Chains A and B, each alone.
Chain A
């Protein structure tokens, strides 16, 4: 079998097994087993990709290929994978079987719909990370909305309708503007002389070609494109002040939805910023970057303070996500390899530890039927295994040295600190306060729920789930099996972060090269000069007389299939 077929298999496999679910009888057992096997098979394929990936060329887009789609538009289902994509794909495929396994007891009706949409969601998420065609990326990015909308709306908590609607509308509005920006960049490519770089001067949505196209824009145009990209991706991240959809969606979603949302879907936003905003609009990123950094810092502090006063344990973790993703964005816009590397590591770490926290909270909700912190407490005495995992993941999330959270947080802050040309020490110092606040609210929560006097009040009166009775049995083997791999991952990334970091160095260099060359030399680019006499260029008065364009990616560096 051809190597390049592995990636489409990874996308199609969950899709097909989701469709095959419809053929099964509607009994719960067969469907659960089928879903578990489907996600495990996908994990297997992704591990095969890891084995066949050439780590010495981790910046190259490997196993690349394209399936024709609408040739007239230059659209194709183009896919390929580099180290950044590979790690995020792996995060997805590892989380999914655990999510399926974790949902066995929490989902009690409409099994087919639940597991079917879960599989579709997995396909869309993997597709987002492997796409090399901008529209293919956009399709997968957008399509993640539908399964999650239905998962939240059908299987969510009491306010699920509002949460589902808000989630969909918020992210859809933002990404429609991104859509306009994408079309604009693709159109701009057609106006460039075809001699400029390969692929210029025609309609195409190939990501590498559009890097060159967008880099050839004037500063004003780049700012508009960056705003368009931000409006989609910043909502997804979510960056303060457009984060307000997240707490509700996270809280009302079923446990599996929260885990996927925190674990992978938020990363689509940061991945989009990393993959598109940074290399496409470097000039605008350099000038707008400090403002984005300021929003990130404001978000870190603001949501950390909100966490402090939460009474609902799930909401607390949801808000802490916003705070953590602020670090991620801060590191990214430091625009140096330390910061961006930390940011990518943070994406993976956050996926593992916050995903695990949501699973822990889900397990307690199944037993107590409440998320109110005042109605539970001292659980370490009656559920020691659960308490162990809870404390472990809380520590990972806070950034205890030795666990994964610490590495990412440290690197992003250091990146921001040394990036005096963009952010600087002040940003790092203020964001550092966020770390302290993070420790405060998490320890406060742990102190109330895990330690202290035993409280097992269960749901308050009038709660619709009242009458189920409170269980205080400890985790069973299935639940331990769900949490253990995540704990191992957290520990491994905390002790040996370099295994990941060194594979990321080369691709990160590629991504920050345009912004670095602006910051370092003050000269934009090093490549071809556009002839100022060209009439196509002249029709934009914004253009300087002579423009220099950076051609980032030589086509020979892209591994041929």
Chain B
């Protein structure tokens, strides 16, 4: 059991974000819009500071603290969150306070009504940073209580962000839906955690792994209580990643929230959820494949159902935000494919499912943020762009934005040479390596189905004539974010070798840590 102070030493990047969040809260109180504008810069600075701390190894666990940091993947996940976090900040930093000239019907109402979507607000950036810090804390969790608190720190700010993102009934509705379902999910996985504690008497991950390893050595099967607890925890966390059976909220919430917030919802809670899943599954990894068969079956079933439900329902949508929401659900299904082989730590790079999950989270994050960012750059009829019609002719009117949208959807589709393709090689290769060929066939067929709605987006951008009522919003930072995300998706696809290696090294460290714990089991 490590002392709390030892742990805090590893948390400097998170501390940087929390300090930034508090500064944002204070600065955001200013009545002057010019001063409030500083909030975005403060948030950016604290993210850059966190990135710098990560890059220079401050807050990285040294040898003695490897166990305290939990796992080797922490650094990778934190870096990914900071990187995509910066993109998300770019997307959120510009508020559409002005419209391009001669726009029929503006976003800002003339009667001076308060519209939160078009005002620079301090609390937005504060909650944004809180949520990112929570996701980073998840990656460093080594205790059930810690994990629970970190997951809640990730989620609670997002409820507020959704509710205050727009002056629309939709936003309120989706926030309430999101909050109550999120609370229920939290209750489910907390219940799971308590059962794990009840079965083992432990909350520390290393101790639980050692306990499980000791049982596995004595040849006894996994305790039913522990298994039940784990399954409940997995089902609860599946809310965060929007996987079947906890996916219902996603489309409504994504649609209701303002587009920058939606982009964040699609990445941050999902990353936290998958990191938690990896950690939870690592608890029973020492028990071996035979004892965890039920868990494996559950994951297979969830993966197959999630991607099928996501893609089939995605076909039926007319609202692009809902389409991307279902695409996000489907991607959770693909990513789950990487987790089914969790019982064996992969030795070869392509056989390493956990590394594939980490890599794909980055790939998915870049492409999804890119797509939402492009969507956020267009307005229609005094509202956000939402339908296929609003995207019509984008490729002609704004060639750069159109290209960014095209690259993003093609990367989501997994078309080479975008990063999504390497991600799919990684995920599906690891699953085939573990013998789940049927699951991979289901996954590739699902990819083919998803092509229908991704192509609809591409076709709207390129084949149709521009619609008269769409206007482009004056959001330079958001445009920059969209372009940056698309360029990253393309460049990292062609030159993704280093990122793949990084993911592999990160999880190889984890495998070692687990093996280490198993070998010193009492």
A interface residues (Cβ-Cβ under 8 A, vs B):
68-75, 110, 135, 138-139, 142-143, 145-146, 149-150, 153-154, 160-161, 164-165, 168-169, 172-173, 176-177, 179-180, 183-184, 186-187, 190, 202-203
Contacts and interface: CB of A to CB of B under 8 A. Distances in A.
A536 to B, nearest CB: 13
Interface of B: 348-351, 396, 410, 415-417, 421-422, 424-426, 428-429, 432-433, 437, 440-441, 444-445, 447-448, 451-452, 455, 458-459, 462-463, 495-497, 500-501, 504
A66 to B, nearest CB: 13
A180 B428 contact: yes
Contacts of B437: 180, 184
Contact of A143 (B348, B415, B448, B500): B415
Highest count of chain B CB atoms <10 Å: which of A110, A154, A168: A168
B350 A203 contact: yes
Given A179-B428, A183-B425, 11 more contacts: A70-B500, A75-B425, A142-B415, A153-B459, A164-B459, A165-B455, A165-B459, A168-B455, A173-B445, A183-B428, A203-B351
B500 A142 contact: no
18 contacts: A68-B497, A70-B497, A72-B349, A73-B350, A142-B415, A149-B458, A161-B463, A173-B445, A176-B444, A176-B445, A176-B447, A179-B428, A180-B428, A180-B444, A183-B425, A183-B440, A190-B348, A203-B348
Contacts of B432: 180, 183-184, 187
B314 to A, nearest CB: 14
Given A180-B428, A183-B429, A153 B348 contact: no
Highest count of chain A CB atoms <10 Å: which of B416, B451, B455: B416
A127 to B, nearest CB: 10
Nearest to B444: A176
Nearest to B443: A180
B452 A169 contact: yes
A382 B426 CA distance: 61
Contacts of B421: 139
Contact of A177 (B396, B433, B441): B441
A187 B433 contact: yes
Given A71-B497, A180-B444, A172 B451 contact: yes
Contacts of B350: 72-74, 186, 203
A73 B455 contact: no
Contacts of B426: 73
Nearest to A68: B497
Contacts of B348: 190, 202-203
Contact of A146 (B351, B415, B448): B415
A524 B445 CA distance: 34
Nearest to A138: B416
Contact of A187 (B410, B424, B429, B444): B429
A145 B416 CA distance: 10
B428 A72 contact: no
A70 B463 contact: no
Contacts of A202: 348
B451 A70 contact: no
A165 B396 CA distance: 19
A73 B349 contact: yes
Nearest to A160: B463
A184 B444 CA distance: 13
A149 B426 CA distance: 27
Contacts of B459: 153, 161, 164-165
A169 B448 contact: yes
Given A168-B451, A190-B351, A203-B349, A150 B462 contact: yes
Highest count of chain B CB atoms <10 Å: which of A68, A75, A183: A183
Contacts of B428: 179-180, 183
Contacts of A169: 448, 451-452, 455
B105 to A, nearest CB: 29
A164 B417 CA distance: 21
Contact of A72 (B424, B433, B504): B504
Contacts of A165: 452, 455, 459
Given A168-B455, A190-B433, A203-B348, A180 B440 contact: yes
Contacts of A187: 429, 432-433
A139 B417 contact: yes
Contact of B425 (A73, A142, A145, A177): A73
A168 to B, nearest CB: 6
B501 A71 contact: yes
Contacts of A179: 424, 428, 444
A165 B460 CA distance: 12
Highest count of chain B CB atoms <10 Å: which of A71, A73, A149: A73
Nearest to B348: A203
B505 to A, nearest CB: 9
A154 B402 CA distance: 14
B424 to A, nearest CB: 8
A180 B351 CA distance: 15
B416 A139 contact: yes
Contacts of B455: 149, 165, 168-169
B462 A186 contact: no
A555 B259 CA distance: 55
Nearest to A228: B441
A73 B451 contact: no
A153 B406 CA distance: 14
Contacts of A184: 432, 437
Contacts of B447: 176
Contacts of A177: 441, 444-445
Nearest to A168: B455
A181 to B, nearest CB: 9
Nearest to A169: B451
B333 to A, nearest CB: 15
A3 B156 CA distance: 61
Closest 8 CB pairs of A and B: A72-B349, A139-B416, A173-B448, A176-B444, A70-B497, A153-B463, A187-B432, A203-B350
Contacts of A168: 451, 455
A386 to B, nearest CB: 32
A150 B458 CA distance: 9
A68 to B, nearest CB: 7
A70 B415 contact: no
Contact of A186 (B410, B429, B458): B429
Nearest to B410: A146
Highest count of chain B CB atoms <10 Å: which of A68, A173, A179: A179
Nearest to B445: A176
A186 to B, nearest CB: 7
Nearest to B421: A139
A154 B462 contact: yes
A173 B417 CA distance: 17
Contacts of B452: 165, 169
A108 B231 CA distance: 62
A135 B424 CA distance: 12
Contacts of B462: 150, 153-154
